[in-house]
């Protein structure tokens, strides 16, 4: 079974999104896993999720990802201006961090990583978001 989790590094939260992946206005990472029957549990609404043991492992990995990308998290949260190259470099480091961290845990079989939502790539001062409006 494939199980997709949405990672929100700004809110330091994750959500199960299988099988429907909603479109988001915030930057999210979708991580899709191949899970065996014994690794999957179901909510009262019959939605698939990791069993408690596997979810604890995932939470540990997610915490490591958030900690390793604290600098980029702050840049995104404060909507700081960066060059195209800086954004591309930091996004590449974030993706590598997600993959490398999750792969340290053999019970988590990562098969796909996607960026979705509103990821900044190019922005000038005129394109700066005014969150007070």
pLDDT tens for the 133 residues of the chain, in order: 999 999 999 999 999 997 778 788 889 999 999 999 999 999 999 999 999 999 999 999 999 999 999 999 999 988 888 888 999 999 999 999 999 999 999 999 999 999 998 888 877 777 666 555 5
Domain that holds residue 38: 2-123
Identify whether the C-beta of residue 11 lies closer than 8 Å to the C-beta of residue 58. no
Say what the pLDDT of residue 24 is.
81
CA nearest to 30, candidates 6, 11, 51, 54? 6
Task: Tell me whether residue 130 is in a domain.
Answer: no
DSSP class of residue 50 equals E
pLDDT at site 119? 87
Residue 131, pLDDT score? 52
Whether residue 114 lies inside any domain: the answer is yes
The confidence score (pLDDT) of residue 74 equals: 94
> What is the reported pLDDT for 132?
52
- Residue at 72 is within a domain: yes
Number of folded domains that form the chain: 1
Whether residue 84 lies inside any domain: the answer is yes
- The answer as to whether 59 is a domain residue is yes
Q: Helices then strands (H, E): number in the chain?
A: 3, 6
Q: What is the pTM of this model?
A: 0.89
* Residue 118 counted as domain residue: yes
Report yes or no on 100 lying in a domain: yes
Looking at residue 43, what is its pLDDT?
93
Contact 57, 107 (CB under 8 A): yes
Give the tokens for residue 113. Answer: 């990583």
Asked if residue 24 is part of any domain, the answer here is: yes
């Amino acid at each position: 079974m494939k199980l997709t989790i949405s990672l929100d590094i700004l809110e330091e939260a994750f959500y199960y999104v299988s099988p429907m992946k909603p479109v988001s206005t915030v930057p999210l990472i979708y991580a899709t896993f191949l899970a065996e029957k014994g690794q999957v549990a179901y909510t009262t609404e019959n939605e698939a999720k990791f069993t408690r043991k596997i979810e604890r492992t995932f939470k540990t990995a997610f915490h490591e990802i958030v900690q390793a990308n604290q600098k980029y998290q702050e840049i995104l949260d404060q909507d700081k201006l960066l060059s195209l190259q800086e954004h591309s470099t930091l996004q590449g480091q974030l993706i590598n961090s997600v993959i490398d961290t999750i792969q340290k845990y053999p019970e988590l079989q990562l098969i796909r990583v996607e960026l979705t939502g509103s990821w900044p790539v190019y922005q000038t001062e005129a394109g700066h978001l005014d969150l007070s409006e």
